Amino acid sequence: MFSTMQDVPLTVTRILNHGMRLHGSSHLTTWRGGGEPQRRSFAEVGCRAFQLANALRDELGVQGADRVATLMWNNAEHVEAYFAIPAMGAVLHTLNLRLPAEQLAWIVNHAADRVIIVDGSLIPLLAPLLPHLKTVEHVVVSGPGDRSPLEGAHARVHDYEELIADCPTTFDWPEIDERQAAAMCYTSGTTGDPKGVVYSHRSIYLHSMQVNMTQSMGLTDQDTTLIVVPQFHVNAWGLPHALFMTGVNMLMPDRFLQPAPLAEMIEAERPTHAAAVPTIWQGLLAELTAKPRDVSSLTQVTIGGSACPPALMEAFDKLGMRVCHAWGMTETSPLGTVSRPPAEVVGTEREFAYRLTQGRFPASVEARLTGPGGERLPWDGESAGELEVRGPWIAGAYYNGPDREPLRPADKFSEDGWLKTGDVGTISADGFLTLTDRAKDVIKSGGEWISSVELENALMSHPDVAEAAVVAVPDDKWGERPLATVVLKDGSTADFETLRTFLAAEGKIAKWQLPERWTVIESVPKTSVGKFDKKVLRRRYADGDLDVTRL
């Protein structure tokens, strides 16, 4: 027996039409730095998305499932592309501007992008690559910037505003199968070539609904969200689509991602919510400590990408900014968990412990833990294993290039189709995930596991430590032992023995887990999305580039 319900496709087009019609007065503000911010209503953003779609089809010949890439910051024009490209039936491909040049070129060629929309400030990044981008026929430049480096290349160069200026503000959107590709994003390729994840219209729509759930980010059209997480990183955690769906105002920082301009825009534009990785918030905290600002409007902060140190969460609590942990990855669209403590612990001493977890799984994300021998582990808050997930916005394969079957490597997907996340952790009986490490970063010492994340969080709770990263290094006796690399705050007088004693005090860290090897570094190397890049530290240690003290 079948239902009597209408079968209406869940598409990005529906989000676009709904947002501009019912939330047309909501606004998108782009911070331009030093001048008046650019402001556009959702209705204006929608009309310009219609114009962009017309220009791409009629002027540049984009058809069907053609890939249109963006090499841009977080701004209004990028949001216009977010809607115009998928809604016309093409595929949005966001390019990570922080990747090495060789990886960027490989990604564009692998995806077979026909058009690249580039911010004028990023022309110096694109121009040297352009001769190597075999499939790119058109480059559309948005905003000011010297176009001359692009001259002489095989691709035609267009100005964004001139291209869309005379185009109609209506578009006959095609009927799209909700399972059709809407957008694609490549992983950072820390091991091997980057891997392409292709999001469907259906997955984006359902993910947007989950972002808007009360037990998720729970925002309304009375809120303004500062979207610091880059639009090239997992669709800015799905926020542009989700916020357009519900009329939440957007504040886009463009290229101004340093602590000082972020503090300035929070004080001036009064956002109520913001989303970014921990390294952004660590920098902002240092800025606000050195130069206090009125940031009282910002009462909610979503942190993902890597674990938030407890000391950072406590510091923002004191500023009136409630930090909410979330977990996800490129392959999960990215929302996998959000840490909203259960009702029975709110207001009790147990609440903070729940907030430190990565959070609880929503109904659409199924999870399981797998032990080293492939055994299924219980949800008891103690049994640690690799997290595997599945659901309607979870990748089931990687893009394998035009005219090739999707790729499902055995180390990334189980035989029954679950995504192997590479994250190691526990799940409590009530479904809260606590990640203890990445499988590749866990320290295997004498047959026991040591969590590098636990050591890092403990170190960063010391008042003299700005940042800390812990990696496994070879040890003749134990196989592996932890190496603690620390960034000390200006004026710090702490030495390694002091820090080691601090870790041992009050049972913070078990004695056998305490690092014997220590070094001070100027800064922790970061990946293109702001996570600690531990492979760089391991390589520097192996090459003898670190001045290591052994206690």
Q: Which of 77, 178, 287, 331 is catalytic?
A: 331
Look up residue 255 and give its amino acid.
R
Instruction: Return the closest-CA partner of residue 228 out of 184, 189, 263, 182.
Output: 263
Q: How far is CA 404 from CA 28, 399, 400, in A?
A: 39, 8, 6
Distance CA 426, CA 387 (A): 8
144 phi and psi, to 5 degrees? Answer: -70, 150
Report the Cα 190 to chain-centroid distance in Å: 15
Q: Which of 29, 30, 187, 527 is catalytic?
A: 187
Measure the CA dihedral 509/513/518/524, to 10°: -70
* Cis before 334? omega within 30: yes
Distance CA 428, CA 434 (A): 8
Distance CA 8, CA 2 (A): 15
Residue that is written with structure tokens 């005090």 in the block:
505
Residue that is written with structure tokens 């709110």 in the block:
346
How many residues are present in the chain?
Answer: 551
Asked if 493 is an active-site residue, the reply is no
Distance CA 305, CA 143 (A): 29
Can you give 155-179 as a three-state secondary structure string? CEEEEHHHHHCCCCCCCCCCCCCCC
Measure the CA dihedral 134/140/144/148, to 10°: 40
Q: Which of 134, 440, 444, 489 is catalytic?
A: 444
Q: Which of 106, 173, 379, 449 is catalytic?
A: 449
What b/e sequence results for 220-234 when a residue is b if at least 16 CB atoms lie within 10 Å of its CB, and e otherwise? eeebbbbbbbbbbbb
Look up residue 378 and give its amino acid.
P
Asked if 444 is an active-site residue, the reply is yes
Q: How many CB atoms lie within 10 A of CB 23?
A: 21
Contact 158, 62 (CB under 8 A): no
Residue that is written with structure tokens 């399981």 in the block:
368
Asked if 31 is an active-site residue, the reply is no
SS3 at position 466:
strand
Contact 471, 453 (CB under 8 A): no
Asked if 448 is an active-site residue, the reply is no
Q: What positions carry a catalytic annotation?
A: 187, 331, 444, 449
